[in-house]
Structure 1
Amino acid sequence: MNDNALEQLSDRLGGIAYGGDYNPEQWPREVWEEDVRLMREAGVNLVTVGVFSWAFLEPSPGTYEFGLLDEVMDLLHANGIAVDLATATASPPPWFSLRHPEALPVTADGVRLTHGSRQTFCPSSPAYAEAAGRLTERIVERYRDHPALVLWHLHNEWGNHNAHCFCDISAEAFRDWLRQRYGGLDGLNEAWGTAFWSQRYGDWAEVMPPRATAAVANPTQQLDHWRFSSDALLGLHRREAEIVRRLSPGVPLTTNLLVTLEKKVDGFAFAEECDFVSVDQYLTAADPEAHIGLSLDADLARGMGGGAPWLLMEHSTSAVNWQPRNVAKTPGQMRRNSLAHVARGADGVLYFQWRQSRAGAEKWHSAMLPHGGTDTKTWREVTALGRDLKALAEVRGARVVSDVALLFDWNAWWALEMDATPSRDLRYLDLVRAWYEALWSLGVTCDLVHPGSDLSGYRLVLVPSLSLTSDADAAALNGFVADGGHAAVGFFSGVVDEHDHVRLGGHPGAYRDMLGIRVDEFFPLRESETVRLSDGSRASLWTELVEPRGAETVLSFAADPSCGGPVPGHPAVTRHGHGDGVSWYVATRPEADALRGLLARVCREAGVTAAAEVPAGVEAVRRRGPDATYLFLINHSPRDVSVPAAGTDLLSGATADGGVVVRAGDVAVIREHGAPPAGR
């Protein structure tokens, strides 16, 4: 990670990056001149080129043709548009699959997939690695000194479609990975708990990926295969990164990670191998509160980069093409979505893609320049947003102010959603989102960070769901609280170690002493079943038989068995003084208003305050630069609202003297008067 790389890039661009994927190979050359003219009109200063151009750059094995890309690079430079140049390795051409059928991926059921889409390769294939490496070398050697080049774009959405392969090549690579992890078969057998179901291995040849089998596959075998698969892709990323850094050391590199769109690769691991974090984020059209999921992804992107500004590499101007029902964005929604990312640390706003395709699998995916051309709602919003981003140029480099960390871990996500857990209704993102949404509604900003991160700068750490945790990460949270921090932990957290082995002696294992409780037994609820708590609120999904061991009971399950569920009268929420700090435990899933009220109390006790006092449906986030702070206010509600603020609205130019009215669906960005407020 290079904290200065994105700052240097935005300085070179003269402001916040704005643009998207540009695929000129889809269009005749006479369209290109119109493209660059309209890019200038929209305020575009950066485009991503070459993501899916392997078949054009290497039309046959070892034959490279760069004429088209040369023209495009020169044309963009002549028009003042910088280039994020891709290594083009995300979609091998048909000739590669025909020449190397063994490189095609195989499913857990033993079905070998065929060419015809994208990312159709086995991540462990030596043939793919060699071909991708040769292509990367040729591209970097040719364009490393081109004046349009400002950024290298490695691959594209690592593992989106091919994260897991179960072929024989992958099986051997999996065994090699396991040898490095465990040393020998004794270590593997211990970690996988193979004494169960007579699974003990006596020869490495017996060890396989978790292919389709008669009953439940070994959980740790499954978990390790998720880890191996992520690492296999990370190895390919590192191979491309080594080539770029060796041949083009003065140009930063990144890759577009998928945050919560996919759980297939460990985003934290990939982020460490980039000069700065870049992500793709797409709304879930079926979610009426999708803008909250957007904010969660943005805060995770920032957490992946250690709090530094990051780049939004892809999002959509309107509808996508790959969801069951692809709902178009309403007027003003694209602007709110884009500026919400900027509010939460993005120093660049890019889309897939520049010109909407007329053919192919993504022809109905929206773009900056839609099928209807410039006389469209989308185009008018695209050009207006370009003006907004120019007005916000001074914000770039400012860091988001946050006193709260929310622990997020792909390993815990993988472990929670494997087979044979206490309830199939335990879904990682649902649990994280519920706590995050409560904070969002309170106007409290949080960083989503890895459990092994430095927590010392935070006032409060939240653990909505972390069933799997290592000894080291558990010790870090325990130490944070003992040193005076505040923490709140959700149910079924800390119950297994990194091998998915149960922590014995009573739950919640790793956090039991810190929380001052012991959980005797889990009592998951039936589908749609709810219970009443002692304050009259309701909860769902889960209950536990909690025994206080020093903790005080804040809320309990109702004493009446008819409405109190399986453990009537027992604690549902506890609070415990641990060292110089305070820890909370939540043994159920409270309804939204109750969880919001609970976390509001937790925040008050921890000394955490909102970025601004805002009504429901209004998003408030603060970025702090060396000379000023910027309060972003995004009104997702259908009503005009008044928010306390003092300063100048960078978007409208209006002065706020004690308060600002944010119109329904509108955005204000206030450069605040006075000294920057305290906070992380």
Structure 2
Amino acid sequence: MISTLLSQLNGPDGDRTPRLAYGADYNPEQWPREVWEEDIRLMREAGVNIVSVGIFSWARIQPAQGQWDFAWLDDVMDLLHAGGIGVDLATATASPPPWLATAHPEILPVTASGETVWPGARQHWRPTSPVFRTHALRLVRKLAERYADHPALVAWHVSNELGCHNIYDYSDDAARAFRDWLRARYTTLDALNHAWGTAFWSQYYSDWDQILPPRLAASHPNPTQQLDFKRFSSDALKAYLRAERDLLREITPEVPVTTNFMVMGRTKGMNYADWAQEIDFVSNDHYVSPGPQDRDELSFSANLVSGIAGGRPWFLMEHSTSAVNWQPVNLAKRPGDLARDSLLHVAHGADAVCFFQWRQSAAGAEKYHSAMVPHAGPDSEVFRAVTALGGTLRTLAPVAGTEREPARVGIVFDWESWWASEQDSHPTSLLDYRREALDWYSALLALGIRADVVTPQADLDRYQLLITPVLHVVPAALAKELTRYAENGGHLVTTYFSGVVDENDHIWLGGYPGALRDLLGIRVEEFGPLLDGDTVALDDAATGTLWTDRITVTDPEVEVLARYRTGTYAGHPAVTRRAVGRGSAAYVSTRLGPDGLTALLPKLLGPAAVGSELPDGVGGDVELIVRRGAGSRYLFLVNRTDGTVPLTGLAGELLIGRAEDDGTVVLSPRDVAVLRQPTR
């Protein structure tokens, strides 16, 4: 339904042709009335055609119980419509007002150690609180009924960043809801006791009321209880999302509903792959974390959002024009970063580019967070870059509504493996699931090879090479599916600590990698994690960290691609590949990092007949992403370097970018070019 939204955004002279959306969170309640009309003028100058309004406005809309003030919001909605700007109207339920927390402290979350999370910041509410839900849905109904027919309304924005600060609540409300969730999952206590392995440490439950969330305990809480609480917590917020969504659909069935995910960095509590089907279009917030893989991580996250959205267009709800306020050191972006960051999201399927926020706050916790209009005002480099980006997005209007063209390599990202692999009392506490997946992605980028980041529910058969880093949780059905994939000609690559447990976090017995042991043709009796800072050398000149395995080859079809040269397992296989039917299955038993994987990947890509689609010699200097629509495909060429990169031999109409007379596309540092090619 994002195409419906885009078609409602006014273009020049009222043109309703679908176009890319451009805008920000808009918080006019932070500013006096005389600033609002100036905001509208500057929005039109910058090319803004949509804003999110009302995200943290509950206390302004309902200053006290039974009191409602919509006059200011009516004024804002009317002004925006008159300025030709659509509104993604938030339900304002993200943070309850002080009067509600004072009257009903039972809505406040409780930590694992029993501490109350008090008001003073944001998101101080329990996802399972019936009292909070009653008050929140009353507000949602008021908003929906009042603005159902307002011409500025183009979408609903449920809450804001659900679970950012309140994903895990250990209150009595949560305990009751957790027990209900467990009854639905297991039906009987016998089934729960089996799944949780309660014969260990005398944890057998004889009554449902004995079960609690994994609160602060004397030692490591039951691991399956922890995993189920993660599943429950994601589901509890999903149920809340559904409650708001259902009410909005009842009152405004033609208005699409979304909520902003946070696919980035360490945000892992919400299973967004599971949430995606609950909303009319996927939205995401992303902020760059400074580091050696910063833009690779941006590309990885945007790619994963596209995978969650099934390759369909999605909405970038928030990112930053420059510095943020919440990192240890908040770096300003360099010239060109604002545009490159934004266009990377568009390349991976975003049909909307929005920032937090429109005007930089003068007070409050985020006053040092950049915005489209910074503290310096419109006479600033940031606002000039914002306006230039608005012009670029107008030029790229033909891209709106197109889908991302599938790559030939897929990287599987599995929330349950992320959750389970990083729990306590494991072989190492240093394992970083997301970093391992990102390392593979960075290595492919360094080779100039496109890859899709997808969930296990995707159509895996479309990929010639399928990489499943740390696929720790492997139910029997998934093991069977991966075996079928390889037998039918697919080339599977997996890594250390994969295939180890089933959906109940029970070990697949008989040796590691458990459920994948027969497929890979190897057996591991004992893990060999490495101390922080320790390394092992491989005989192909690579260096391994974090993990090693003592591998025994059990099938004569297994080829050893690399062996350990040093360490406890010197002489043993480190990387293996087994021929399987018309395909193969490979295993990498140590963390090689981006450089080591870049050296290894050609051996794995060769049997899959996958290579770079970029001109010879370009390598990893440029990232290629392709979107495809009716009659055209769009090649996004992103300069990954701080130098100038020439690209020769590329056919197509140059929509944005610079080309020499001989057709050479020239990418300046941190530049993006887009070529349109006709398709049959």
Range of TM-score over shorter length: over 0.9
Q: 1:644-674: CA deviations, max 9, x gaps?
A: 31222212475785631212222211123x5
Length-normalised TM-score, structure 1: 0.96
Q: Does 1:518 align with 2:518?
A: no
Q: CA separation of 1:439/1:652 partners in 2, compared to 1, >3 Å: closer, same or farther?
A: closer
Structure 1 gap ranges (5+): none
Following superposition, the deviation at residue 601 of structure 1 comes to 3.0
Which one is further off, 377-386 or 471-480? Answer: 471-480
Of the candidates 529, 534, 538, which is equivalent to residue 533 of structure 1? 538
Of the candidates 604, 608, 611, which is equivalent to residue 609 of structure 1? 611
Matches within 5 A, 1:137-156: 137-156=141-160
Which one is further off, 457-466 or 293-302? Answer: 457-466
Structure 1 counterpart SS, 2:462: coil
Which residue number corresponds to residue 86 of structure 1?
90
Which one is further off, 460-469 or 38-47? Answer: 460-469
CA distance in 1, matches of 2:362, 2:342: 25
Structure 1 counterpart SS, 2:163: coil
Which residue number corresponds to residue 36 of structure 1?
40
Q: Does 1:569 align with 2:576?
A: no
State the one-letter code of the partner of 1:371: H
Following superposition, the deviation at residue 242 of structure 1 comes to 0.4
Following superposition, the deviation at residue 313 of structure 1 comes to 0.5
Which residue number corresponds to residue 642 of structure 1?
646
Following superposition, the deviation at residue 5 of structure 1 comes to 4.9
Following superposition, the deviation at residue 604 of structure 1 comes to 3.2
Q: CA separation of 1:547/1:8 partners in 2, compared to 1, >3 Å: closer, same or farther?
A: farther
Of the candidates 283, 294, 315, which is equivalent to residue 278 of structure 1? 283
CA distance in 2, matches of 1:62, 1:409: 45
What number of residue pairs does the alignment pair up?
A: 669
CA contact (8 A) 2:5 2:155 kept: no
Which residue number corresponds to residue 578 of structure 1?
580
Of the candidates 326, 335, 343, which is equivalent to residue 339 of structure 1? 343
Which residue number corresponds to residue 504 of structure 1?
509
Give identity over the alignment, percent.
Answer: 51
Of the candidates 441, 444, 447, which is equivalent to residue 442 of structure 1? 447
Structure 1 counterpart SS, 2:275: helix
CA contact (8 A) 2:293 2:442 kept: no
CA distance in 2, matches of 1:216, 1:540: 26
Which residue number corresponds to residue 13 of structure 2?
none
Q: Does 1:626 align with 2:661?
A: no
Of the candidates 589, 593, 600, which is equivalent to residue 602 of structure 2? 600
Q: Does 1:62 align with 2:76?
A: no
Q: CA separation of 1:654/1:592 partners in 2, compared to 1, >3 Å: closer, same or farther?
A: closer
State the one-letter code of the partner of 1:166: Y
Following superposition, the deviation at residue 8 of structure 1 comes to 4.9
CA distance in 1, matches of 2:538, 2:571: 9
Which residue number corresponds to residue 555 of structure 1?
561
State the one-letter code of the partner of 1:588: T
Of the candidates 203, 217, 221, which is equivalent to residue 225 of structure 2? 221
Which residue number corresponds to residue 240 of structure 1?
244
CA contact (8 A) 2:657 2:666 kept: no
CA contact (8 A) 1:309 1:398 kept: yes
Which one is further off, 486-495 or 442-451? Answer: 442-451
CA distance in 2, matches of 1:657, 1:578: 48
CA distance in 2, matches of 1:648, 1:145: 41
CA contact (8 A) 1:104 1:121 kept: yes
Structure 2 counterpart SS, 1:456: helix
Matches within 5 A, 1:455-474: 455-474=460-479
Which one is further off, 451-460 or 488-497? Answer: 451-460
Q: 1:61-93: CA deviations, max 9, x gaps?
A: 232221111110110000100110111110110
Q: Does 1:405 align with 2:406?
A: no
Q: 1:79-110: CA deviations, max 9, x gaps?
A: 10011011111011001101111110110111
Q: CA separation of 1:585/1:411 partners in 2, compared to 1, >3 Å: closer, same or farther?
A: same
CA distance in 2, matches of 1:641, 1:292: 18
Of the candidates 275, 296, 303, which is equivalent to residue 299 of structure 1? 303
CA contact (8 A) 1:495 1:510 kept: yes
CA contact (8 A) 1:119 1:161 kept: yes
Q: CA separation of 1:615/1:577 partners in 2, compared to 1, >3 Å: closer, same or farther?
A: closer
CA distance in 2, matches of 1:212, 1:642: 58
Structure 1 counterpart SS, 2:503: coil
CA contact (8 A) 1:647 1:656 kept: no
CA distance in 2, matches of 1:537, 1:208: 47
CA distance in 2, matches of 1:591, 1:307: 28
Which residue number corresponds to residue 205 of structure 1?
209
Following superposition, the deviation at residue 607 of structure 1 comes to 2.5
Of the candidates 130, 138, 144, which is equivalent to residue 134 of structure 1? 138
CA distance in 1, matches of 2:469, 2:580: 19
CA contact (8 A) 1:104 1:122 kept: yes
CA distance in 1, matches of 2:519, 2:664: 43
Which residue number corresponds to residue 421 of structure 1?
426
Q: 1:35-76: CA deviations, max 9, x gaps?
A: 000000000011001111111111112322211111101100
Which one is further off, 648-657 or 137-146? Answer: 648-657
Following superposition, the deviation at residue 641 of structure 1 comes to 1.0
CA distance in 1, matches of 2:563, 2:605: 23
Matches within 5 A, 1:160-171: 160-171=164-175
State the one-letter code of the partner of 2:27: N
Which one is further off, 544-553 or 460-469? Answer: 544-553
Q: CA separation of 1:87/1:339 partners in 2, compared to 1, >3 Å: closer, same or farther?
A: same
Which one is further off, 425-434 or 646-655? Answer: 646-655
CA contact (8 A) 2:658 2:673 kept: no
CA distance in 2, matches of 1:596, 1:552: 22
CA distance in 1, matches of 2:498, 2:506: 13
Structure 2 counterpart SS, 1:259: coil
Q: 1:303-351: CA deviations, max 9, x gaps?
A: 0011111111000000000111111101111111011111111111000
State the one-letter code of the partner of 1:602: L
State the one-letter code of the partner of 1:638: D
Following superposition, the deviation at residue 460 of structure 1 comes to 1.8
CA distance in 2, matches of 1:475, 1:5: 40
CA contact (8 A) 1:553 1:572 kept: no
CA distance in 1, matches of 2:663, 2:105: 67
RMSD over aligned Cα atoms: 1.7
Q: Does 1:264 align with 2:269?
A: yes
Of the candidates 84, 101, 108, which is equivalent to residue 105 of structure 2? 101
Q: 1:13-55: CA deviations, max 9, x gaps?
A: 7411100000000001100000000000000011001111111
Structure 1 counterpart SS, 2:656: coil
CA distance in 1, matches of 2:244, 2:7: 22
Of the candidates 656, 664, 670, which is equivalent to residue 665 of structure 1? 670
CA distance in 1, matches of 2:666, 2:309: 33
CA distance in 2, matches of 1:117, 1:158: 15
Structure 2 counterpart SS, 1:473: helix
CA distance in 2, matches of 1:675, 1:139: 45
CA distance in 2, matches of 1:595, 1:413: 21
Following superposition, the deviation at residue 387 of structure 1 comes to 0.5
Q: CA separation of 1:231/1:292 partners in 2, compared to 1, >3 Å: closer, same or farther?
A: same
Q: CA separation of 1:657/1:394 partners in 2, compared to 1, >3 Å: closer, same or farther?
A: farther
CA contact (8 A) 2:500 2:513 kept: yes
CA contact (8 A) 1:647 1:657 kept: no
Q: 1:289-314: CA deviations, max 9, x gaps?
A: 31110001000100001111111100
Structure 2 gap ranges (5+): 11-15
CA distance in 2, matches of 1:482, 1:657: 47
Which one is further off, 533-542 or 83-92? Answer: 533-542
Length-normalised TM-score, structure 2: 0.96
CA contact (8 A) 1:646 1:659 kept: no
CA contact (8 A) 2:658 2:666 kept: no
